[in-house]
Amino acid sequence: MLLLNYNSLLLSMPGGTEWILIILAVLILFGGRKIPEFMRGLGRGIREFNDAKSNVQKEIEEGMNDKDKPKQQA
């Protein structure tokens, strides 16, 4: 079973020739000047996603810590 899944994963991954064709298609479609702009936007999106993920994780951890602390009565 594991061998079958590994082999199907290898068959679904693009090889060297496929990557070259993909890169050429991107160059033709977007041109050399648009690619750095696209990559900057992609980097910003990944950074924002990671910031949001860490904020959610921090809020969950804070909520768990607050739950563990006994509440003070006024």
35 within 8 A of 26, measured Cβ to Cβ: yes
Domain boundaries defined on the chain: 24-66
Q: Could you tell me which residues come within 8 angstroms of residue 38 by beta carbon, excluding any fewer than 6 positions away?
A: 30
* Res. 3 pLDDT band, cuts 50 70 90: low
Which of 56, 14, 43, 63 shows the shortest CA–CA distance to 23? 14
pTM of the model: 0.52
> How large is the average pLDDT for residues 4-24?
76
The rounded distance, in Å, linking the Cα atoms of 11 and 55 is 38
Q: Which amino acid is at 36?
A: P
Mean of the per-residue pLDDT values of the chain: 82
pLDDT at 5 (0 to 100): 62
pLDDT of 67 > 90? The answer is no
